[in-house]
């Protein structure tokens, strides 16, 4: 792909020494990030004018925190080497071939995972690892929540701690779920699946990953800066009232939103422009459709998320009043901006998960995907409708009651394209010879969980039922059935499916099955219990509850500990298989898509000769064999 000619290395006294790009890594990134943060904090502290308006004492603190975090961000990205490419380009000297190969991680072993490496396979592995880290943190926080509510009356944690734990659990899990499929598999697998040598913009690929890393310290700093008492939705005016921890949250969201936009542009461009010769849209695997729909949906909505947090940050740090009714702003504006991102976001999570299942179903039933066109129509229908449903989160807000009817209509219409995806999956399983493997089990589990999650969603979409259920644990149980029971289960299935290609080793079957059964059983117990207490009237996001709800919460907490056991077995399975697993053959599932046509480990540029595609990848069935 590269058009750079092999120029002679620049002569000079520094030539025999290590070049600058070889010195940069996560260590210089962290170092420069910390230096940048401290420097900016010192400058802000010294030179910012004293706040004359006595009523906003914390404004100045917010300004200092924001400026320090911007210092961290710029310092970290510079230290990682994100600016080398743009600077060279500015000077009119593009990277040499050797430098590009260095950036791609050639011959660097494990070190390349800690550098600004552009190879999509490295980025895929980095995403896989960081997704697991994020889920681990979110899982620990979930256990704190459930432990609190398992105590009679709750109140095991201090109220401020509890609220922060709830908010951090929410945001870490949402971030983890957004990147869990498009990150690892969209980066590692997708380019090979479409027969490309790398992504369309490899440096943007590295940028999108390291932006996620850059967002972590600001988010974690919230824990030391007073916490985030608002939940992940960070509604105003509560957000405006919150301690400086909120600034960390805002900064993390802004950085993460940029990462998502960058990744979205990159993945979309790759799928549109870099497919192999002969891979017409009719021959493009459904997983590619799912990934593209997901990131293309994120492209218009994440800027809105970014904007909502920028405006919140301005309200906090400068005393502007976008969301403050006393200054002519509106908290309803924030709610709208938030959910204009927030509802499409759940489909950003779900669509690629379901697409991964549709990709796996033909392989494990040895028959073609049932109704490819219906699958595409379902994905397109969900994506299109999902941007028109946000205000169902505002049914009881009092904002524009006249719009409740129309939003109920659009919300319930989504069940039609969703039903199409069900038909595609069931139609593919129907009368196939089902090969019982972990990915197959994931398909069945998701069909069960998503049926429950979908139907409970229809209760919630009804305006008058929502008046009873909104803000209760029923809602929490509902979206855990969709995002965890369906999205995460599918992502774990996809991980087991592509594990052999990504790590060169088979996933340990025994550990995988043990983890599958434990987590699924624990999941049903936890969230069925939560449905019950929700119907009985327990609000969400409360750390202290009346004894009336004790029984249901003990059930849910017991289930949560079972899930934890299952997840630890899964994590153990990942480590054991990755390090000591059986070496995987090139195509362990005998699948027909292109990623299985390359060797293990996948060579640096994937294909020696770019493939030419002559038929779609679903040509299973007797007539073919």
Partner 1 sequence: MSELETAKRLAWWKRADAKKAVVLWAIFTLVIGYVASTIQTRVMGSAASENMSSTINMIKIFTWAASPVAGLVAALTITTLLGKRHFGDNPPPEAEHEIRNSPKVAATWVVVSTLLCLFAVIYGMVLVQKDENNLRSANSLNIDVTGQQWAWSFNYVDNGGAQSADLYLPVDKHVVFHVTSTDVMHSFWIVQMGIKVDANPGYITETATTPNKIGVYDLRCAELCGLYHAYMQKQVHVVSQADYDAWVQSQGGKA
Q: In 3D, which of 318, 331, 493 has the Cα closest to residue 399?
A: 331
Least spacing, CB of residue 223 vs partner 1, in Å: 17
Q: Pick the piece of the chain touching partner 1 (CB under 8 A) from 104-112, 178-186, 194-202, 459-467.
A: 459-467
Based on the shown chain and the rule CB under 8 A, indicate whether residue 550 belongs to the binding site for partner 1. Answer: no
- How many other β-carbons are positioned within 10 Å of the β-carbon of residue 619? 12
Length of the chain: 625
**Contact window for partner 1 (CB under 8 A) among 211-219, 299-307, 327-335, 602-610:** 327-335
- 539 is an interface residue for partner 1 by CB under 8 A: yes
The yes or no reply on residue 472 touching partner 1 (CB under 8 A) is yes
Q: Give the range of 42-50, 283-291, 299-307, 405-413 binding partner 1 by CB under 8 A.
A: 405-413
Min separation Cβ 384 and partner 1, Å: 16
Q: Which residues contact 516 (CB under 8 A, 6 or more apart)?
A: 438, 441, 442, 445, 566
**Residues between 55 and 114 with contacts to partner 1, criterion CB under 8 A:** none
Find the radius of gyration of the CA atoms of the chain: 25
Which residues, 575 to 604, sit near partner 1 by CB under 8 A?
588-590
The H or E element containing residue 254 is helix 245-273
Please state, in angstroms and as integers, the Cα–Cα distance from residue 157 to each residue in 99, 109, 161, 246, 596, following that order. 52, 45, 6, 20, 49
Q: How many CB atoms lie within 10 A of CB 582?
A: 13
- Find out whether 61 and 243 touch, Cβ atoms under 8 Å: no
Out of 42, 459, 513, 517, the only residue in the binding site for partner 1 (CB under 8 A) is 459
458 binds partner 1 (CB under 8 A): yes
Per-residue binding letters, 413-452, with partner 1 (x by CB under 8 A): x-xx--xx-xx--xx-xxxxxxxx-------x--xx--xx
Nearby residues of 612 by Cβ (< 8 Å), 6 or more positions away:
276, 277, 278
Q: Residue 326: which residues within 8 A CB-CB, separation 6 or more? A: none
Least CB distance from residue 282 to partner 1, whole Å? 11
CA–CA separation, 237 vs 79, rounded Å?
A: 37
Site string for partner 1, 165-194 (x = CB under 8 A): -x----------------------------
Phi, psi angles (nearest 5°) of residue 472: -105, 170
Q: How far is the CB of 366 from partner 1 (least distance, A)?
A: 5
Two structure tokens written together for 244: 């400086």
**Binding characters for partner 1, 489-528, by CB under 8 A (x = yes):** ----------------------------------------
**Cα distance between residue 559 and residue 538, in whole Å:** 18
Task: Please tell me whether residue 620 binds partner 1 under the rule CB under 8 A.
Answer: yes
Question: Binding residue for partner 1 (CB under 8 A) from 1, 17, 160, 272?
Answer: 160
Among 22, 98, 412, 605, binds partner 1 (CB under 8 A): 412
Residue 540 binds partner 1 (CB under 8 A): yes
| Closer residue to partner 1, CB minimum distance, 137 or 234 | 234
Residue in the structure block whose two tokens are 């300004």: 63
Nearer to partner 1, 147 or 397 (CB): 397
Contact with partner 1 (CB under 8 A) among 465, 565, 576, 613? 465
Distant-in-sequence, close-in-space partners of 455: CB < 8 Å, separation ≥ 6: none
Of 398, 583, 608, 614, the one binding partner 1 (CB under 8 A) is 398
Cβ proximity to partner 1: between 311 and 542 the closer is 542
Q: What is the DSSP string of 67-104?
A: HHHHHHHHHHHHHHTTTHHHHHHHTT-PPPHHHHHHHT
Size of the site for partner 1 (CB under 8 A): 95
Please identify, using beta-carbon distances, which residue of 182 and 456 lies nearer to partner 1: 456
DSSP 320: -
DSSP assigned state of 621:
S
At 539 the three-state DSSP class reads strand
Shortest Cβ 94–partner 1 spacing (Å)? 47
For the bound state, the minimum distance from the C-beta of residue 462 to partner 1, rounded and expressed in Å, comes to 4
Query: Which residues ranging from 359 to 388 are in contact with partner 1 (CB under 8 A)?
Result: 365-374
471 is an interface residue for partner 1 by CB under 8 A: yes
DSSP state of 114: G
Write down the least CB distance from residue 452 to partner 1, Å.
Answer: 8
Q: What's the token pair of residue 409?
A: 């209509």
Report how far apart, in Å, the C-alpha atoms of 260 and of each of 289, 296, 305 are: 18, 10, 11
x/- track of binding to partner 1 for residues 220-239 (CB under 8 A): ---------xxx---x-xx-
Separation CA 449–CA 494 (nearest Å)? 17
């Amino acid at each position: 792909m590269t058009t750079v000619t092999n120029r002679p290395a620049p002569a000079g006294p520094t030539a025999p020494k290590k070049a600058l790009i070889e010195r940069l890594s996560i260590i210089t990134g962290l170092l420069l990030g910390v230096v940048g943060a401290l420097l900016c904090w010192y400058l802000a502290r010294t030179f910012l004018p004293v706040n004359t308006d006595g009523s906003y004492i914390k404004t100045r603190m917010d300004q200092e925190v924001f400026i320090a975090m911007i210092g961290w961000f710029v310092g970290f990205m510079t230290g990682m080497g994100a600016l080398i490419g743009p600077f060279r380009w500015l000077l009119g000297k593009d990277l040499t071939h050797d430098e590009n190969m260095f950036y791609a991680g050639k011959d660097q072993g494990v070190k390349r995972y800690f550098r600004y490496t552009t190879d999509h396979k490295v980025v895929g592995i980095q995403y896989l690892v960081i997704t697991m880290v994020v889920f681990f943190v979110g899982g620990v926080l979930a256990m704190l929540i459930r432990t609190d509510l398992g105590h009679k009356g709750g109140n095991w944690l201090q109220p401020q701690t509890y609220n922060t734990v709830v908010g951090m659990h929410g945001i870490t899990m949402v971030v983890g779920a957004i990147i869990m499929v498009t990150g690892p598999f969209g980066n590692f697998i997708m380019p090979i699946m479409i027969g490309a040598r790398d992504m369309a913009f490899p440096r943007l690929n590295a940028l999108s990953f390291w932006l996620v890393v850059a967002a972590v310290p600001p988010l974690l700093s919230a824990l030391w800066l007073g916490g985030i008492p608002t939940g992940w939705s960070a509604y105003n005016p509560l957000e405006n009232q919150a301690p400086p921890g909120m600034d960390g949250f805002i900064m993390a969201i802004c950085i993460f939103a940029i990462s998502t936009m960058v990744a979205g542009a990159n993945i979309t461009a790759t799928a549109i422009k870099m497919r192999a010769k002969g891979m017409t849209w009719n021959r493009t695997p459904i997983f590619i459709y799912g990934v593209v729909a997901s990131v293309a949906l994120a492209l218009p909505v994440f800027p809105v998320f970014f904007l909502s947090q920028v405006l919140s940050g301005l309200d906090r740090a400068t005393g502007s009043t976008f969301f403050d009714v006393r200054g002519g702003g509106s908290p309803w504006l924030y709610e709208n901006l938030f959910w204009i991102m927030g509802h499409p976001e759940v489909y950003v999570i779900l669509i690629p998960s379901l697409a991964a299942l549709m990709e796996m179903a033909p392989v494990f039933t040895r028959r073609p995907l049932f109704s490819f066109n219906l699958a595409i129509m379902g994905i397109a229908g969900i994506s299109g409708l999902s941007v028109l449903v946000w205000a169902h989160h505002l049914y009881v807000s009092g904002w524009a009651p006249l719009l409740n009817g129309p939003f109920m209509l659009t919300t319930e219409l989504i069940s039609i394209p969703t039903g199409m995806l069900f038909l595609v999956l069931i139609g593919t399983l129907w009368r196939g010879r089902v090969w019982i493997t972990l990915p197959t089990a994931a398909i069945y589990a998701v069909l069960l969980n998503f049926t429950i999650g979908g139907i409970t969603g229809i209760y919630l979409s009804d305006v008058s039922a929502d008046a009873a259920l909104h803000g209760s644990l029923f809602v929490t149980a509902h979206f855990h059935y969709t995002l965890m029971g369906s999205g995460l289960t599918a992502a774990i299935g996809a991980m087991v499916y592509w594990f052999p290609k990504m790590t060169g080793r088979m996933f340990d079957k025994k550990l995988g099955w043990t983890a599958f059964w434990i987590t699924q059983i624990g999941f049903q117990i936890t969230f069925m219990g939560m449905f019950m207490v929700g119907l009985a009237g327990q609000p969400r996001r409360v750390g202290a509850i009346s004894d009336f709800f004790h029984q249901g919460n003990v059930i849910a907490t017991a289930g949560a500990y079972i899930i934890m056991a299952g997840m630890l077995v899964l994590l153990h399975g990942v480590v054991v298989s990755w390090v000591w697993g059986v070496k995987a053959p090139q195509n362990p599932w005998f699948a027909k898509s292109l990623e299985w046509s390359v060797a293990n480990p996948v060579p640096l540029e994937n294909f020696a000769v770019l493939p030419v595609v002559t038929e779609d990848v679903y040509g299973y069935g007797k007539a073919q064999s």
